[in-house]
Amino acid sequence: MKNLANFKILVLAFGLFSGLVAAQKISSKTVKTTVTGTSTMHDWSMTSTAGSFSGNVAGNTITDITYGMGSKTLKSGKGAMDSNAYKALQADKYPNITFTATSVNMGKGTMTGKLTVTNVTKTVSFPVTVAKSGNNYTITGTESIKLTDYGVTPPSFMMNTVKTGNDVKITVNVVAN
């Protein structure tokens, strides 16, 4: 009888311990992505709130990170600018921008992963902040890239009198639970 009681305690303890170390799947509640840059006329900005994020949380680490956003979900509020951006991104041929990473820790740190724009994938590392509040995880990060590194010719318009700069800054703010 004593052995049966010890066995039950062992099974209960194992079950509780397994629940504590098992990864919790999280996915985006909100995602806001902003891309900013310059041109010979003025600075510009495009924003998307249609991205997706997923990962697994175990302890103080988020693993198996996946982020995606449709190229055509980026909006500037200026139709001609949007059309030029989509053409430069080859959005009809490559409709998605993606990022994957193995892991990131809670707090301030650096996340390294694979960013794919058009059909070009590059390894990028950028500063991030990961914070937990209740069941929500907020992940914010900013990275600057060169459009030409990803096969994107910086757009120009008005008979090439207005040219977009090659450097853009991407800021992502995710709330997941």
Which residue segments constitute the domains of the chain, with CATH numbers given? 24-176 (2.40.128.110)
Tens-place pLDDT, residues 148-158: 999 999 988 77
Tens-place pLDDT, residues 30-85: 999 999 999 999 999 999 999 999 999 999 999 999 999 999 999 999 888 899 99
Residue 10 has pLDDT above 60, yes or no: no
Residues of the chain by 3-state class (helix, strand, coil), percent to 5 = 20, 60, 20
Task: For residue 21, name the pLDDT band (cuts at 50, 70, 90).
Answer: low
Whole-number Å distance between alpha carbons of 76 and 74: 7
The total of other beta-carbon atoms located within 10 Å of residue 108's CB is 10
Return the sign of the alpha-carbon dihedral for residues 102, 105, 111, 115: positive
Residues contacting residue 163 through CB under 8 Å, at least 6 positions apart? 39, 40, 154, 155, 156
Residues contacting residue 117 through CB under 8 Å, at least 6 positions apart? 89, 94, 97, 145, 150, 151, 152
The reported pLDDT for the residue numbered 3 is 55
Taking the chain, what is the end-to-end CA distance rounded to the nearest angstrom? 44
Residue 146 has pLDDT above 80, yes or no: yes
The reported pLDDT for the residue numbered 73 is 98
Residue 7 has pLDDT above 60, yes or no: no
Tens-place pLDDT, residues 83-141: 999 999 999 999 999 999 999 999 999 999 999 999 999 999 999 999 999 999 999 99
Task: For residue 19, name the pLDDT band (cuts at 50, 70, 90).
Answer: very low
- Alpha carbon dihedral 119, 124, 128, 133, in 10-degree steps, equals 50
